[in-house]
Structure 1
Amino acid sequence: MTDDAVPASELYTDEFAADPYPAFAQLRADKPVCPVSSPRFDSYLITRFDDAKAALTDPRLSKDLYGPDQHYLRIFGPNSEGLNKNMLNSDPPEHTRLRRIVSQAFAPRRIEALRPRVAQIVDDLLDKIVPQGQSELMHDFAIPLPMRVISELLGIPEADHDRVLDWTQVIRTSGSSGRSPQEDRAAVQEAQLRLHHYFADLVQAKRAHPADDMISALIEACDHDGKLSEPELVTTSFLLLFAGHQTTADFIGNATVALLTNPDQLELLRASPELLPSAIEELLRFDGPLPVASPRIATEDVEYQGVSIPRGAIVGVVINSANHDPAHFADPDRLDLCRERGPHIGFGHGVHYCLGVSLARMEAQIGIGALLRRLPELRLGVPVAELRRLPAASPFRGLLELPVRFTA
């Protein structure tokens, strides 16, 4: 790591957690490829749009964390391999094989057929909220909506939804629980193990009694087609669960705050609900739930913006910074729902482009549209500065709580 590396403790502050965009702007201007040092691992952050887009397709930046160097140990820690060895952390041709198996379940026409069920889940959740005049929207709506949808797709029995959600939330909220770092790591490792065992048991149950769900289809690919190994079956199930609800939940929370703190845009969307599909894209560009793409490893010395990134270094492509690059977006720190739809990279770019993009867009459109329609005079329940967010160093940008009020 170079002498001009920025200590993670100086970058990932409480101010950064509340609003990282001033720090991103400074990095784009002064250190567009920024070395960051931390006790767990060092990394290089790529922050400008053109560089970020190039890095996301650079074959020298590998997603395979499970080679001889076992980079996953530095990034995820012990007990991680059982859940994280999947298509997200692999390169072609392995990634191509695994993605092809899963992609049929996320075909746009198949996802569109889910629209009535998603709308029903949204209405069921809001039916409980509407009479109260207030809500903690993350707990009551933003998290359970995508969690219920992906659980039903996978075939997780309804009786297990709450405990599976509890385990995922232990992982999601790591660093914000009030536990000591040692206790927090132990809790995360325990949740990882429980999820691994749960999916291993669920696979066996589905193997004995298959159903019309995604895990049963994956078992078919494993047992009859030989396209999937047993460990891949378990880790793919976990990836689909976590990726299928985490970022969508955080996005709904972020988007709600963005609208409530930009009342002119909120009123515009209320008056013109036909803008909702394009508004979702602008809201994702404005404050996406995945600030940094999942880690890459330099397989050889590479250079970006005159900065040499050595072989073996961890590289983070800062999506949320790239999506605020003024070289590509006019007045990028302003929410503009009428912005001409630009090439944001909120869903990634290249072969790792988000597989569940159609589902995420549909859930966001239905969910946010229903919030605005069914919760009159929706407003924050606390000043925006008092909102509790995930820790600054979290891989996700989201809220721990989102208290709101409205007219019952």
Structure 2
Amino acid sequence: MTDGRADASGVPEIDLTDAEVLRDPAAAYGRVRERSPLARLRAPGMRPMWVLTRHEDARAMLSDPRFELSADSFMRPAGIPEHCLAYMRTMQEMDGPEHARLRRLVSPAFTVRRAADFRPRIESVVENLLDDLPDHAEDGSVDLLAHFARPLPIEVICELVGIPESDRPRWREYGAAVTAGWGQAFADAIPGIMEDAKAAVAARRSEPGDDLISDLIRTQTGDEGRLNDTEMVTLVWNLVLAGQTPTNLVANAVETLLRHPGQLAALREDADLMPRAVEELTRWCGPQLLTIPRHPREDVETHGVLIPKGEPVTAAIVSANRDPRVFADPERLDISRAAGAPGHLGYAHGPHFCLGAALARAQTEVALAALLRRFPGLALAGAPGRVPDPGTWRLAALPVTL
């Protein structure tokens, strides 16, 4: 783990099953970062993986065309029906011209301006969830993860994609299955997600509305400027899959603010701090600990170590985001921290920078602002438990009193 062990090349090793790594990954990776810019990740049944621990190296790798994403970068549950496989390969698995074409076609729908235009609909979703929150209270407390943070993203996705209200109960089940992790419920949900995504695309082709799919259909001209039905369904699947980030970001942010009363008070006093606060909370307690693994197209030497072609390489976001070479006093949460470049890597970097980053930011800002406004006495009700997940920093529950 972080106890000084190293492999034959002298590179430190991190055991992903180690209790200290799971309990406090920021500290565990931080100790390795200050010892070495490069380490090896190991876990039973997992192929060893190289990990870059410092911000500069992580940022460079994420924009280096020698490191590619592919189907091998992703875990897939077993037993996916054959007819669903065509929709499983998203932009995240593509590089080069193929990725650039799709990114160019869909990026206009995910700009900061479009997220701002969509903000009133996010606000409506948030207010409705908060209206129902007191009804879920048991013995004086309510689980904010189960009844607010977890349902939020799929409700926003339904608004974004244009899912009719009558179909939304099924989509809520899909969202719950995806956020639960890569288990049987996730695998069982895939066929339904694909079928309902196909139905949504078909409906918008025949009757456009005020939603993402309709916008993409309206703006497409010519073969190179058009998403086919398979690409449309794949985009919806990608939204359902990747769009759950605010679940854990919102939950982590609320817990963090409640544990830092000075920062919480400052945010309550000055609502204009919210955008900077969300950036700082993403840096401090963002859910993604590691980037999706890349595979070098050729042998690559870094810091005197040869990484052979094809061996998986990841970047430790949790370590890079607290690198003292980039962030002043990085272990201190400071919601007034001035923005600047280079920033945190919570949404990765380079060609695969998170397409939905503006939407995730907007959701988190709206959710936190409304929650703090509606419930000024919000407080933790006991110690929230964490899921022992080496890839994601996430809570098992967030009991609070309103």
TM surpasses 0.5: yes
Residue type at the aligned position of 2:349: H
Contact 1:82–1:231 (Cα < 8 Å) also in 2: yes
Deviations 1:103-139 (A, max 9, x none): 1212322221222222222222112225756321112
Contact 1:83–1:192 (Cα < 8 Å) also in 2: no
1:275 to 273, 276, 285: 273
2:161 to 154, 166, 175: 154
For 2:142 and 2:29, the matched residues in 1 are separated by 32
Contact 1:372–1:378 (Cα < 8 Å) also in 2: yes
TM-score by length of 2: 0.87
Aligned twin of 1:200 = 198
Give 3-state SS (helix, strand or coil) of 1:114's partner. helix
Segments of 5+ residues of structure 1 without an aligned counterpart are: 176-183
For 2:210 and 2:268, the matched residues in 1 are separated by 38
Cα displacement (A) at 1:219: 5.2
Contact 1:83–1:239 (Cα < 8 Å) also in 2: no
1:250 to 248, 251, 266: 248
Q: 1:88 to 1:309 in 2, by over 3 A?
A: same
Residue type at the aligned position of 1:135: V
1:49 to 50, 55, 60: 55
Contact 1:35–1:43 (Cα < 8 Å) also in 2: yes
Aligned twin of 2:396 = 400
Cα displacement (A) at 1:223: 9.4
Cα displacement (A) at 1:58: 0.8
Q: 1:36 to 1:17 in 2, by over 3 A?
A: closer
Give 3-state SS (helix, strand or coil) of 1:389's partner. coil
Aligned twin of 1:119 = 123
Aligned twin of 2:382 = 382
For 1:399 and 1:162, the matched residues in 2 are separated by 24
For 1:297 and 1:259, the matched residues in 2 are separated by 37
Residue type at the aligned position of 1:118: I
For 1:16 and 1:380, the matched residues in 2 are separated by 25
Aligned twin of 2:143 = 136
Give 3-state SS (helix, strand or coil) of 1:36's partner. strand
Contact 2:201–2:229 (Cα < 8 Å) also in 1: no
Say which is worse superposed, 328-337 or 256-265, in terms of deviation: 328-337
Contact 1:300–1:311 (Cα < 8 Å) also in 2: yes
Q: What aligned pairs does 1:4-403 form with structure 2 within 5 A after superposition? A: 10-38=15-43, 39-63=45-69, 65-66=70-71, 71=72, 75-78=75-78, 79=80, 81-130=85-134, 132=137, 134-174=141-181, 184=183, 186-218=184-216, 225=223, 227-244=226-243, 246-342=244-340, 343-383=343-383, 387-393=384-390, 395-403=391-399
Deviations 1:287-328 (A, max 9, x none): 112221222111111122222211111111111210011111
Deviations 1:78-113 (A, max 9, x none): 438544412122112111111111112123222212
Segments of 5+ residues of structure 2 without an aligned counterpart are: 1-5
Aligned-pair identity in percent equals 38
For 2:191 and 2:18, the matched residues in 1 are separated by 30
Contact 1:36–1:45 (Cα < 8 Å) also in 2: yes
Residue type at the aligned position of 1:23: A
Cα displacement (A) at 1:28: 0.6
Deviations 1:370-391 (A, max 9, x none): 11111122111112xxx23333
Contact 1:51–1:304 (Cα < 8 Å) also in 2: no
Q: 1:323 to 1:16 in 2, by over 3 A?
A: same
For 1:196 and 1:366, the matched residues in 2 are separated by 29
Residue type at the aligned position of 2:157: I
Q: 1:114 to 1:229 in 2, by over 3 A?
A: closer
Q: 1:297 to 1:161 in 2, by over 3 A?
A: farther
For 1:242 and 1:161, the matched residues in 2 are separated by 16
